[in-house]
Structure 1
Amino acid sequence: MKIKRTMILGIIVTLILSVVSKFLATFLPQLGAESIAMILGIILGNTVFTNKRFAPGMKWAEKYPIEIGIALLGLTVTFKTIENLGINGIAFILIQMVLTIAVVLFMGGRLFKVSKESAMLMGAGNAVCGSSAIAAVAPVIGADDDQRRTSVATVSLTGVLLLLVLPLLGPHLVGHNNVLLGALVGGTVQSVGQVVGTAALINPTVVTYATIFKMLRIIMLTVIVLVFARMAQKNQAVADGQVASAKKFNVPWFIIAFVIFLLLNSFLPLPHVVTGSAKEIASFFGIVNLAGIGLNLKFKTIKDSGVRFLSYGFVTGVFQVVLAVILIKVLF
């Protein structure tokens, strides 16, 4: 989307907040730049930056840089990532993701009574990679801005909770085996930054294993987007009384780019400066995304979703950890 003059001020504010959050994360590594950006964004967006002149740029910064970040994530993983996990590791991630999505969709519809779009966003965010997955899924299922922001906020807060709890509970749940601890963290925690932060609170070796498990979840992002797009299409077709297979949907450009970059990185010897830069840029745009979401997320939206959504996120986080521990005991 083209940047208009009315957007410049809001974009600058969001970028400054992102840089400040990244700086503060050096002093608060347990929390992470993404969480800091979202928390500060919510506070500032409801107090200091309430003037409507900031809104266009903040909304642009919330939506579009993350698309580039998602595309660049393809340069941070390879098919070798899958091979390194082994059959049991791959089975663990796939079963964890499928059951997480199934249970989150069930709970969303039956227990917490949220919209189908919100349940899908919660499923994608928890199963794959937090706000990046939600940003990828939202446009293909027709989710509105409030649904997207509330889901991101809930998933991010759940990730913060897991970040604080798993380093303490992990060794008691799966023992002191670094591979199993990496599976627990990499298979449950939402964003990449939170995975690294959580694992770092255990030990550096767990960071390596947790990142590998997390990368497989990211590799599955394209599949998840396509599945949810098809589900949304069928839901709409049923609502309109149409044949479900009659319509087509367009795959977002950044998902196509993600796959292309993944293939390039898997089969060509790309320089470290390319892959390293892609990782840094993707990470920063993830911070920009959370800063923008925080700045645009109003207290009224949080109040309207209230205890119901926070409970939805908490129960989902508990389920993911319990499921991961069971699968680890069975598969490893």
Structure 2
Amino acid sequence: MDCGHTHNNKNFFQHWLNILKSNFKGLIFVGGIVVLSMFFASNQTIRESTHLAATAFAILIGAFLSPIFFKYQHTFQAGVHFSAKKLLRLGIILYGFNVTLTELAGVGIWGILISLIVIVAIFLIAVIAGPKFFGLDKETSMLVGAGSAICGAAAVLALESSLKSDPFKGVMAVGSVVIFGLALMFLYPILYAAGLVPNLDANGMGVMMGATLHEVANVAGAADMAKDMAQGTFTQNAANVAIIIKMTRVIMLVPFLLIVTYLFVKNQEEEKGKTKKTIQIPWFAFAFLGMIIVNTYLSKIADETFVGAITFGDIISAGKFLCVLCIVFSMAALGLQIDFKKFVKSGGRAFGLAFCLCLILVVGGYFLTLAFKGVLW
């Protein structure tokens, strides 16, 4: 029995050692981009001049270095793929450390309703307009729609993982969504500070940011810039409203993935007859919800001691840091996989759809926010 147990342990460690060896060079390459990105994001001078988060720096640096990746793809592929897929899922799970059930309850049914309207409308427009007006296939249209409607790159990659679609479709969708997410992140604070968003106070602008910006990082960045540019008229409370509305959209990723993947697989089976695809259940999304529940409990006992001098608050802080680290790793890997030649050749149509959805988010989001005056702000 002991010999068998020892043999099993040896196989287990050998398995993980092989994974580490195969991924090592790629992880080191991606890790270098991550260190550089986090340095830029933490440097006060750079941060004040760009207002970009580490995730944005990671994807930009990754995209800049993508020719190196494609030149030595056989060496770096495994580690880059591991970062883009496995570490992203871990990052999404750990994102639960940023939200509590109490915060979600703060926006109530109205916050859920405005999030639901944005997600359903933008996704349906993408699915219809993508194939009809932009000549895109259904999967790419769905990916661009998910990224625009829910939470940017994370939603694109989560849906791509569930649909088991061609990775290049995900790269095209993410590239398009990230560009417009960054553009709106700068545009919203500038418009608000210049007084060009009529009839919206700080909290109203916070609702619009949370309901229409692509990435969580975009919302956080736009809120920070608005506080700087608007000289105190955009408050911390408005920033909190923006984040909570945004996180309500993020949480809807769970039922969204289940419904869309089920309908997509069912449709594929009907079209192809003999071909049967299994539904890829997004377990990581359920783990994300579980982590929110854990974080809600830990937040109540944050000052209590866990082990030695370590408090439960320290565990929450560590979880948030690991979340950022995993997502920055996945964004860097994503940037590295952007093939500009292919993007120029066939990504223009995805770019066009993302631009169309961006305009709808801005204009439609503004009037939708006005419609919720008196209940959300």
Change (3 A) 1:61 1:103: same
Q: What SS is found at the alignment partner of 2:65?
A: helix
Match of 2:209 among 185, 193, 207: 185
Q: Which amino acid aligns with 2:37?
A: S
Corresponding position: 1:165 with 2:187: yes
CA contact (8 A) 1:104 1:122 kept: yes
> Residues of 2 paired with 1:179 and 1:280: CA distance?
28
Query: Which residue of structure 2 aligns with residue 216 of structure 1?
Result: 248
Q: TM-score, normalised by structure 2?
A: 0.81
> Could you say which structure has the larger radius of gyration?
2
CA contact (8 A) 2:92 2:288 kept: yes
Query: Which residue of structure 2 aligns with residue 40 of structure 1?
Result: 61
* TM-aligned CA deviation for residue 175 of structure 1: 4.1
Q: What SS is found at the alignment partner of 1:173?
A: coil
> Residues of 2 paired with 1:49 and 1:147: CA distance?
17
Corresponding position: 1:303 with 2:327: no
| Pairwise CA RMSD | 2.2
Q: Which runs of 5+ in 2 are unaligned?
A: 1-14, 228-234, 303-312
Instruction: Pick 1 or 2: higher relative contact order, CA cutoff 8 A, min separation 6.
Output: 1
> Residues of 2 paired with 1:247 and 1:45: CA distance?
33
CA contact (8 A) 1:121 1:138 kept: yes
> Residues of 2 paired with 1:78 and 1:33: CA distance?
24
Q: What SS is found at the alignment partner of 1:327?
A: helix
* TM-aligned CA deviation for residue 313 of structure 1: 1.4
Match of 2:258 among 201, 218, 226: 226
Q: Which runs of 5+ in 1 are unaligned?
A: none
Corresponding position: 1:265 with 2:306: no
Query: Which residue of structure 1 aligns with residue 51 of structure 2?
Result: 30
Query: Which residue of structure 2 aligns with residue 237 of structure 1?
Result: 269
Kindly report structure 1 stretches of 4+ aligned residues shifted beyond 6 Å. none
Change (3 A) 1:324 1:176: closer
> Residues of 2 paired with 1:174 and 1:220: CA distance?
30
Report Cα offsets for 1:200-253 as digits up to 9, x if no partner: 11115232221111111111110111122112212211222269xx97524233
Query: Which residue of structure 2 aligns with residue 63 of structure 1?
Result: 85
Q: Which amino acid aligns with 2:284?
A: F
Query: Which residue of structure 2 aligns with residue 255 of structure 1?
Result: 285
CA contact (8 A) 1:81 1:215 kept: no
Moved more, 212-221 or 25-34: 25-34
Q: Which amino acid aligns with 2:65?
A: L
Q: How does 1:27-106 map to 2 (within 5 A)?
A: 27-28=46-47, 29-47=50-68, 50-52=71-73, 53-106=75-128
> Residues of 1 paired with 2:328 and 2:339: CA distance?
19
* TM-aligned CA deviation for residue 325 of structure 1: 0.7
* TM-aligned CA deviation for residue 74 of structure 1: 2.2
> Residues of 2 paired with 1:260 and 1:97: CA distance?
22
How many pairs align?
330
Moved more, 105-114 or 233-242: 233-242
* TM-aligned CA deviation for residue 78 of structure 1: 2.6
Q: Kindly, what percent of the aligned residue pairs are identical?
A: 28
